[in-house]
Structure 1
Amino acid sequence: MANPTEPLFFSEAIVFLGAAVVAVPIAKRIGVGAIIGYLIAGMVIGPFGLGAIHSVEKIQPIAELGVVLLLFVLGLELNPNRLWRMKSDIFGLGTSQILLTGFVLAGIMTMIGLDRPVAIIGGFGMALSSTAFAVQILKDRGDFSSAYGQRAFGILLMQDIAIVPLLAMVDILVSDGASQADRTVWEQIGITVVAVLLVIVIGRYLLSHLFAILANTQAREMMLAAALLVALGSAALMHWAGLSMALGAFLAGIMLAESSYRHTLEADIFPFRSLLMGLFFMTVGMTLNLPVTLAYLWQIIVGVVVVMSMKGLILWLLAKLTGSSSSDAVSIAAALPQAGEFTFVLFAAATSAGHESDLFTVMSAVVILSMIMTPFVGKAHVAWQKRKGRQATHEPDVVPEKFDDQAPQVLVVGFGRFGMVVAQMLMSNGLGVVAIDNNARRAVQARRLGLPVYYGDATREDVLRAAGAGEALLIALCVENELVMAKSIELIKHCFPKAKIFCRATDRAHAIQLAMSEVDYHIRETFESGITFGREALDQLGLSTERIVEIEREVRQQDLERILCDAALVAEGKPTLPRIEPVRKPSEKIAVSK
């Protein structure tokens, strides 16, 4: 007998997918972005809209996994050295923003007549921005790796860390005695430290060995399962410790950022992250209580304006004082003026402790509307920049220490003997090079030598894109497997048409196939070795340099003509025969020096 809940589950899934398929293309078509489309879709199908979805609480834990996977992928993009360079933004700028914004907003709420505990909880709750919203907007604009994007992300990281002391603050405000709360805080700090160290140790010393074993099995689904296990397992560990689940996934990603599997993991996670992020934004839209919002509409609008204005002003001031340019300071203020998803956590804790729920419902409406307004604030900021004659782009972050911190100029596919020499030639000239290889052991050994080599399958678009194929000027296919190369060529031509394709041909027949594929350049390594060998032999036999150069040119020209001719025959379905044509007439003789 079928489970009676199964039809409900499938009906809810159909409703979510249908709403997304309708709302998101419309939102992108009118220029407001996918996030607004998800929010509006959630408002329409939610319990305060059409009522197609009744229980937001049952879906919200699944939706929050989208934020977890987002932070895991962000961790993969930041190695520990780069994160250490952000320490002043995380602990300096981030802490200053939380404290100053929290006290200012709490003071305003006290002035309008709210109780001091409620005002403090509301003020510091509104001081937290939305990691999901801000990061998604930065990535959509291509500004996440910019100077201001990295500073904004540093602030968001500190806000994720601050959720623990803020929750402790709620306990202190509602407790009868401070001593018990103090003891609880110290216990929480100890658990937090243990949980963080556990994630770091496991990620640093165990995960690379695990992925090496799985990669050697050539089972793609196992790599995917392991990636999800790492992201969700680290998130669960942090949740047990009372920390943000997203922070745990981020730490796990950081530990894998220098491994040779980062691009494959990012590509495997991407579809799940995108779908769950959309689900998260829809659940945020569903939580907007429309009757309460309409009843207190003007108060909520004023609250949104005050919160976003004060946060923006404080962010601009602090960014300016800590070294950002005027343009970057305004960009940070335009990216983080909204309240965030962790604000709901603080409000829920306060409500469960006995504070007035209706008041926090109104505050929650302010939070959601501030999220909805953020993309419009960003669009207004871009329009203002263009009107002032400035492009809405920013200087890149500090010069990276490694090639894998930037988009590669050349992507080398296959890091065997041939690919290694190619990469060495390119890197010797200071070019940005990233290499991928489907041999896990080879990739790991190269990484130990400090070379930018990652494990990855060149026949997968998502892996190539994660490795930087979209920005690469040239893609060098140095693999030995002709079938893999053929699939890669077809994929690159379709998905990355701007990149030039250079190929290694294994033999004459393969060279004919590459000529038919119209790649930009191909070379037979055995042919070149034979040319070099013959050139040196002629030199030892006493021929002049001019004659050797002439012979080499004639051999190359005849070889090229034969390949083009054979390629035409293959295209017509006719057989080809190997031919060797002499480059000199039979009567010619070579004078051998004695």
Structure 2
Amino acid sequence: MQSINAQIFGLLVAAVLFVWFFKRIGLPPILAYLATGVLAGSHGIGWLAQSHEIEFVAELGIVFLLFSLGLEFSISRLMAMRNLVFGLGSLQVGVTSLLFIIILYCLDFSLLTSFTIGTIMALSSTAVVVKLLKETGELNQRRGQLAVGVLLFQDIAVVPLLIILPLFASSGSQSIGWALAFALTKGAFVCVLLWAIGKWVLPKVFNEIAQVRTDELFVLTTILVALFAGLLTYMFGLSMALGAFLAGMMLGESHYRHQLEADIRPFRDILMGLFFVTVGMQLDILFVLNHSLLIIGALLGLLILKITVVALSARLMHERNQDSLACGIMLWQMGEFGFVLIALAGQHQLLSSEQASFLIALGVLSMAITPFLIDKTPFILNKLGILEHPSMTWESEPQSSTLYNDHVVICGFSRVGQTIARFLKPEAIDYVAIESNPILVQEGKAAGEPVIFGYVKQKDILKCAGVERARLVIITFTELEHAQVVIDAIKQLAPNVKILIRTRDDSQLDYLKELGVTEVVPESLEASLMLVSHVLSMSGVPMTRIVRRVSKERRNRYPLMQSFYAGYFKDSEEISTDRLEYLHVVALPPQAFAVNKVIEELNLAKRRVIVKALRREGQEIDTPDEQTTLYANDVLVLQGKPRRVERVEHYLLDGIE
């Protein structure tokens, strides 16, 4: 046990040092992890032994990576990409495999060996490419979507390859058709099963978990869902990564997507690092040195052939030159599933030990070179004269189609946050709210409000709200400990952004200013100022004088109100929520009782509930006329006391008085 602990501790120390050093010299962390694996493996110092347990834990990194990738997609988006996945993907795999098979067969390799190596060469690394796309923010750009489409088809193509290779080795080619048909049936069944679970079960599970408002439980549930999906597909003979992708895709349509991504990211990055360490451990430095010229030649051949095939295939599908070539540069390397196929082929004597070592060296080195080539892609395209706007930098393309800019970020969308939003909207000031109460998020989204579900203290959620480009951040909750964490996260992402915070009193006013808060609004003092304004006005003091005195008090940080007599009483200003009127969103399905009826006919005024707004086909009508007819799929914003609104909702939907 002590030796295992020492190995893990040594691995962590080496990883930290290598990542720090590589980042200081401008190299990506992937290379640092590969170098750590080379150093720690049996071909290096040898302090870390390769084991199935370590490989399994490292594979979880790919599972979490594909889960987070699935969150970026939805079924509609995947259907829109079907030409890329099944068109470009199948073309790339088929043509690349065929060319390598012909070349290797002409070099006196057996047909079976040529087929094995050719199919391995056709695969690319999902782990390397997707991780780099996420780090550079290119996942939603066209070149990134081309690469992801091809990678998804490659991951699917691994399944028949895992079946075919052992059957070829046993010369049981007659049973290949039945085996593939059975595998496809199982795959279709598990995909439908995951789709059903993701559509009807998972949203209810996460809705219940989110209402508990416990960070740890949400994180645990996220990890459990990703692992369950991976295990389910693994039990049916498919890859764990494919199941995790499907689960993520199902949840990608929910409003929990940003929070799920934020929760899974730390585990994904750590385990992905371990995965690249295990890849590096397979590299035999002595073998590379002894066959250096042959390996360099093979790397150049792999680079030229795969980039050419991918670029020409993309051009056949009418993609831009720069996107086609950029996609080829992303996908030129061997993939992580190639190592699985190499091990499988070695077990069935389809590859000799020397051939397996050569392919492993080729795979590891191609993965190591890929980050450098992707980073230099703009330079390469510019030199080739393919970049359409050479004067513009590669990064000048938008990072995402949904980014906010020069807007207000509202942290918390309860009553105060909603009130702020209602005043910002008429002034045409863009805003986005962050809220962890799933019911508020659901109601807000139904009413067309820009609300993100998530815990505002997490930097990933703040990034989703575009806090770096915000003109102002408003913290609407009054818990000081919570606010401190949020302020710190905001300042790390956007040091110069203005922050306005609401507090119960002025006891922490100076402290919050030291933290970097621009403006502090103490509730009790502002309430006192409003009360004083009314008192002075009703006492005959001119309004201009009242405004001047109140403004002076605010500018000077409430000096007149800092001192007061403190008695033994306790303020009892909290009132029951039953006495408050609130807003509630009701969507009218086609079979609702209120459909095709006039608002006046429903006699809502008698029930002391009013229709505050009507949302129809993306347009919002404030306080619609009593003669307005309600149609199917209309969204009503009702205002009234909770019990009355609840009764009216049942009446509108079912006609029950």
Q: CA deviation at 1:519?
A: 3.2
Is 1:373 the counterpart of 2:373? The answer is: no
Residues 170-319 of structure 1 aligned to structure 2 (within 5 Å): 170-319=165-314
The question of whether the paired residues in 1 share the 8 Å contact of 2:213 and 2:437 is answered with no
1:416 matched to 2:418: no
Q: Structure 1 residue 7: deviation in Å? A: 2.1
The 2-side partners of 1:519 and 1:285 are apart by: 47
Asked if 2 retains the 8 angstrom alpha-carbon contact of 1:501 and 1:521, the reply is yes
Query: Could you tell me how far apart the structure 1 residues matched to 2:399 and 2:142 are?
Result: 4
Q: Which moved more, 1:411-420 or 1:74-83?
A: 74-83
Q: In the alignment, is residue 391 of structure 1 matched against residue 387 of structure 2? A: no
Amino acid at match of 1:164: V
Is the contact between residue 116 and residue 350 of structure 2 (CA under 8 Å) also seen in structure 1? no
State the secondary structure of the residue aligned to 2:78: helix
Q: Is the 8 A contact 2:408 2:431 kept in 1?
A: yes
Amino acid at match of 1:104: L
For 2:400 and 2:80, the matched residues in 1 are separated by 10
Equivalent position amino acid for 1:76 in 2: L
Residue 462 of structure 1: how far off its partner (Å): 4.8
User: Corresponding residue for 1:116?
Assistant: 111
Instruction: Output the TM-score relative to the length of structure 1.
Output: 0.84
Alpha-carbon offset, residue 277 of structure 1: 0.8
Structure possessing the higher relative contact order (Cα contacts under 8 Å, 6 or more residues apart): 1
Q: Which residue identity does 2:475 align to in structure 1? A: L
Cα distance 1:340–1:566, how it changes in 2: closer, same or farther (>3 A)? farther
Q: Residues 473 and 324 (structure 1 numbering): CA distance in 2 closer, same or farther, change over 3 Å? A: farther
Distance 2:341 2:281 in 1: 19
Match of 1:71 among 63, 66, 70: 66
Q: Out of 18, 21, 26, which is 2:21 matched to?
A: 26
Change (3 A) 1:487 1:293: closer
For residues 397 and 334 of structure 1, the distance between their equivalents in structure 2, rounded to whole angstroms, comes to 20
Quote the residue 2:438 is aligned against: 440
- Deviation at residue 308 of structure 1 after TM alignment: 1.4
1:341 maps to 336
Change over 3 Å in CA distance of 1:501–1:360 after alignment to 2: same
- Alignment correspondent of 2:554: 560
Give the partner amino acid of 2:367.
Answer: M
Of residues 119-128 and 77-86 in structure 1, the stretch that sits farther from structure 2 once superposed is 77-86
TM (normalized to structure 2)? 0.76
* Aligned Cα root-mean-square deviation (Å): 3.4
- Cα contact 1:512–1:563 (8 A) shared by 2: no
- Structure 1 stretch 526-535 or stretch 457-466: which is displaced more? 526-535
Q: Quote the Cα distance in structure 1 between the aligned partners of 2:190 and 2:235.
A: 9
CA contact (8 A) 1:409 1:472 kept: yes
Alpha-carbon distance between aligned partners in 1 of 2:241 and 2:405, rounded to the nearest angstrom = 26
User: Is the 8 Å Cα contact of residues 512 and 564 (structure 1) preserved in structure 2?
Assistant: no
Q: Is the 8 A contact 1:68 1:245 kept in 2?
A: yes
Q: More displaced, 146-155 or 83-92? A: 83-92
Instruction: Tell whether 2:482 aligns with 1:484.
Output: yes
Q: CA deviation at 1:390?
A: 4.3
Which residue does the alignment assign to 1:11? 6
Distance 1:69 1:140 in 2: 15
- Give the secondary-structure state (helix, strand or coil) at the position aligned to 2:467: coil
- Alignment match of 1:126 (pick from 115, 118, 121): 121
Q: Which moved more, 1:498-507 or 1:515-524?
A: 515-524
Residue 98 of structure 1: aligned partner: 93
Structure 1 window deviating more from structure 2 (179-188 vs 290-299): it is 290-299
Moved more, 91-100 or 522-531: 522-531
| Deviations 1:125-171, CA, capped at 9 Å, x for gaps | 11111011112222333322322122212221221122112323424
In the alignment, which residue of structure 2 is the partner of 1:355?
350
Task: Give the counterpart letter for 1:417 in structure 2.
Answer: R
Amino acid at match of 1:41: T
Correspondence for 2:455? 457
Shift of 1:15: 2.4
SS at match of 1:393: helix
Q: Is the 8 A contact 1:512 1:566 kept in 2?
A: no
Instruction: Return closer, same or farther for 1:111/1:564 CA change in 2, 3 Å cut-off.
Output: farther
C-alpha distance in structure 1 between counterparts of 2:560 and 2:254, whole Å: 44
Decide whether aligned partners of structure 1 residues 228 and 385 sit closer, same or farther in structure 2, where only a CA change above 3 A counts. same
The alignment partner of 2:395 has SS state of coil
Per-residue CA distance 1:92-119 (angstroms, 9 max, x = gap): 2222211122212222212212111221
In structure 2, what residue type is equivalent to 1:442? L
- Report the CA distance between 1:339 and its aligned residue: 0.8
Alignment of 1:329 onto 2:327: no
User: CA offset at residue 408 of structure 1?
Assistant: 9.0
Q: Could you tell me which residue of structure 1 aligns to residue 571 of structure 2?
A: none
Secondary structure class of the residue paired with 2:288 = helix
Deviation at 1:414, TM superposition (A): 0.7
Counterpart amino acid of 2:66? L
- TM-superposed deviation, 1:287: 0.8
Give the AA of the match of 1:415: F
Q: Secondary structure at the residue paired with 1:54?
A: coil
Q: Distance in 2 between matches of 1:86 and 1:396?
A: 20
- Contact 1:288/1:368, CA 8 A, preserved across alignment: yes
**Change beyond 3 A, Cα 1:398–1:228:** closer
User: Which deviates further from its counterpart, 134-143 or 38-47?
Assistant: 134-143
Count of aligned residue pairs for this structure pair? 559
Name structure 2 gaps, 5 residues minimum: 384-389, 567-657
Distance 2:523 2:216 in 1: 35
Distance in 2 of aligned mates of 1:349 and 1:517: 58
Give distance in 2, aligned partners of 1:252 and 1:341.
21
CA–CA separation in structure 1 for the residues paired with 2:2 and 2:366: 36
Following the alignment from structure 2 to structure 1, what is the Cα–Cα distance between the partners of residues 238 and 431?
38
Q: CA deviation at 1:40?
A: 1.1
Aligned with residue 55 of structure 2, among 50, 54, 60: 60
What does residue range 398-409 of structure 1 map to in structure 2 within 5 Å?
A: 399=401, 403=402, 409=407
1:288 CA displacement: 1.3
Letter of the structure 2 residue corresponding to residue 392 of structure 1:
W
Amino acid paired to 2:415: R
- For residues 518-533 of structure 1, the aligned pairs below 5 Å read 519-521=517-519
Identity of aligned residues (%): 32
Distance in 1 separating the partners of 2:306 and 2:428: 43
Cα distance in 1 for partners of 2:507, 2:412 equals 20
Question: How much does 1:63 deviate?
Answer: 0.7
Which residue does the alignment assign to 1:149?
144
Aligned AA (1:312) = I
Q: Where in structure 1 are there 5+ consecutive unaligned residues? A: 1-5, 570-574, 579-594
Deviation at 1:192, TM superposition (A): 0.5
Q: Which amino acid aligns with 1:74?
A: L
Q: Conserved in 2, the CA contact under 8 Å of 1:266 and 1:466?
A: no
CA displacement 1:221-257 (0-9 Å, x = unmatched): 2222111111111111111222221121111112222
How far, CA to CA, are the matches of 2:424 and 2:85 in structure 1?
36
CA distance in 1, matches of 2:237, 2:197: 19
What is the 5 A alignment of 1:564-583? 564-565=558-559, 575=563
CA contact (8 A) 2:50 2:281 kept: no
Range 35-44 or range 387-396, more displaced: 387-396
Higher helix proportion? 1
Partner Cα distance (1:430, 1:342) in 2:
51
Indicate how the Cα distance of structure 1 residues 406 and 154 shifts in structure 2: closer, same or farther if over 3 A, else same: farther
Whether contact under 8 Å (2:525, 2:558) holds in the other structure is no
Shift of 1:534: 10
With over 3 angstroms needed to count, the CA separation of the structure-2 counterparts of 1:43 and 1:423, relative to structure 1, is: same
